[in-house]
Amino acid sequence: MRLLAFLVAATAAAAEAPDYVLVEEHHHVLPHILALVAEGKVQKGATLVHLDSHHDMGLPASWNHDDSSSRNDRTSPSVSHHSVHLEHTHINNFLLALGLLDALDHVIFVEMPWSRQCVDLHNRTKSLRLGFVDGVPRVAYEATVSEQRALRGIFEGHQIVDELETVKTLKFSVIALSDAPRMISKLVGDTDVILDVDLDVYATTSPGALALRSAGLDSATIRRLYRLAHDMCVFDATFDFSRAAVESNCKVEPLGSGPVTVRLFQEDLRDVVDSAEHASDILWTDSRRDAFTSTLRPFSSDLKASFNIEEKMREFIQQPFHDDANSLEGVGRV
């Protein structure tokens, strides 16, 4: 579920209460935003502040951009008029569609601490050049090696091109949740602002986590596996997200630095643990691998009976996950 507040920053309407839109499917906000732009309530080229566990910055797989219906038509600004664009979008790729339609010039992604999708882009702004090749959306950009790693996790390889006739240049900024209070005002500028809040800023599950539950793992075990894989804090009721950037309030298991020997485990869980380690973005020590293996050990028979468990584990580690409701108050303090 997604809540949006449209805050008009640079006009006399700034003193008025913002408009709010509540939708179930993430990309269903698209026609509402286009209608507000067409009605003049939000100026073209707005800044969208995106609070979410997921970046939602994928490219639509198709886009009939030559169709006259794909341009904002101020003579017919209704939501239903713009619903035609929903056929080209999904929950994870509607933001760049809004860029292609000139509704947005800047997306600021406020990443939750349990999400690892854009860590290499924290406190950075990238210019994404958007255009079309044979009628299909494509993207071009310049990036460092570490930035490439994050951006290639957003876009599919064939969507990234070197030469592109640019239709739109969209700024994409990423900041951590704990940095948001001091950074957002510096990034927004004088543009109109759309505040986009997904309910998974408080908690989120994933298809990979649900697959592990189906394989017999309990919630506490799944949480521990995710923390171990990414060397994460315990985000519980005592964790103060508002202080994370200032001082450490992180509880982690004392695994120690330990050696990295790349030793092979001659056991039935080796392939499952390997898939988790390869999906992680940190270097695993032997002690971390031992802790992960021992956590899985009580569920060994259930895991062996589960179809394609190695792939399910890989998906689990790669996708943002946090389902501990005890930490909700801590998120709210930011």
Q: What is the pLDDT of residues 258-317, one digit of tens each?
A: 565 555 554 678 899 999 999 998 889 888 898 999 999 999 888 888 888 999 999 999
The per-residue pLDDT of the chain, averaged, comes to 83
Whether residue 215 is predicted with pLDDT greater than 70 in this model: the reply is yes
Nearest to 54 by CA among 82, 19, 91, 21: 91
Integer Cα distance of 133 and 6 in angstroms? 33
Question: What is the pLDDT averaged over residues 199-227?
Answer: 91
In this prediction, residue 10 has a pLDDT band, given cuts at 50, 70 and 90, of very low
What are the tens digits of pLDDT across the range 249-258? 777 766 655 5
> To 10 degrees, the CA torsion angle through 79, 200, 145, 168?
10
Residue with structure tokens 């380690």? 277
Percent of the chain having pLDDT more than 70? 79
The predicted structure's pLDDT at residue 264 = 54
The predicted structure's pLDDT at residue 253 = 67
What are the tens digits of pLDDT across the range 146-183? 899 889 889 999 999 999 998 899 999 999 998 898 89
Whether residue 219 is predicted with pLDDT greater than 80 in this model: the reply is yes
The predicted structure's pLDDT at residue 61 = 87
Percent of the chain having pLDDT more than 90? 47
The predicted structure's pLDDT at residue 71 = 43
- Any idea which of 54-58, 70-74, 118-122, 239-243 has the lowest mean pLDDT? 70-74
What are the tens digits of pLDDT across the range 51-109? 999 999 999 988 764 443 444 443 344 555 556 677 778 889 999 999 999 999 999 99
The predicted structure's pLDDT at residue 128 = 97
Q: Do β-strands 136-140 and 166-176 pair in parallel, antiparallel, or remain unpaired?
A: unpaired
The predicted structure's pLDDT at residue 247 = 60
- Any idea which of 171-185, 204-218, 228-242 has the lowest mean pLDDT? 228-242
Looking at per-residue confidence, does 189 or 317 come out higher?
317
In this prediction, residue 9 has a pLDDT band, given cuts at 50, 70 and 90, of very low
Cα separation values, 248 from 20, 121, 236, Å: 36, 21, 14
The predicted structure's pLDDT at residue 106 = 97
